[in-house]
Structure 1
């Protein structure tokens, strides 16, 4: 039987997405077996991230500095702004390297069932960014769920008073699909064929 400490580590790993109890046990055994090459570097990386992790005041991304690397990147197109539900969605789109602009993380999506209202999301911050000027296109990259589309329509209504091109992801986004689980080809198709919000 494992010690309480190893059992606690296994239980902590089992709570991570994609890992169950069996996978967590295998991971713990691997970390023990490869202590110097796996466990020690993992501990150092976790400690560093834990000490330096911040949420970007501009876009809501999570990074080790504030403002984040995307917001401070001078190569990014200031005129294009992609609005996403969660940080995972931002990372998924940024991995594709197809969107040259900046991002804005809402921190969720509208949901009457879950009690998520517009004031619970970073919508006012988004409006303030657009009011500051310089943005010509807003891409609404919401997940293709009922709540995601409701959020996109709400945002389109809030932003219609600005002289903007408002688009959303087009074909390639399956209904019920979430950005973080899509491959780069699907994301590329969705970004290339984005269309105006009706």
Structure 2
């Protein structure tokens, strides 16, 4: 009888040893917004300017900068930002990995209260009330099943496979895309 229990115990440990790595591989990597920012690179020094000046950076071709926009008109024009002719700087080590990240929803495609496509952003009101964060701080999320949104400013957890491919929406440019397995309301 003891030999039977011993052989069952050995078999259970063997099975656990075989399947444990598979279960561990399915566990998502918890990431924060700071981990989505690549290490800082030294940028060319830009001439300081006030926020409301309406001035624009000098063009890449070395020509003179365009004239300042009239007061109040500069907010409605999408201006060329330094480095905008290059893809967004992202952290490629997460490409193809299953991750979990928390943030706030900016709906893009929804039916009533069910959201299927949205931008995940690090703080409330990003892309709506203020200029959008940099592309490496915006994640375009596609949820095939969709999820019920409680309130516009409710925080969520998104779990799914992240890709380091940019997405260009009418609202903001995202540096990452996640195909969401789950979107859960987050308790703060």
TM-score normalized with structure 1 length? 0.23
Q: When you count strand as a share of all residues, which structure comes out higher?
A: 2
Higher RCO (C-alpha under 8 Å, 6+ residues apart) = 2
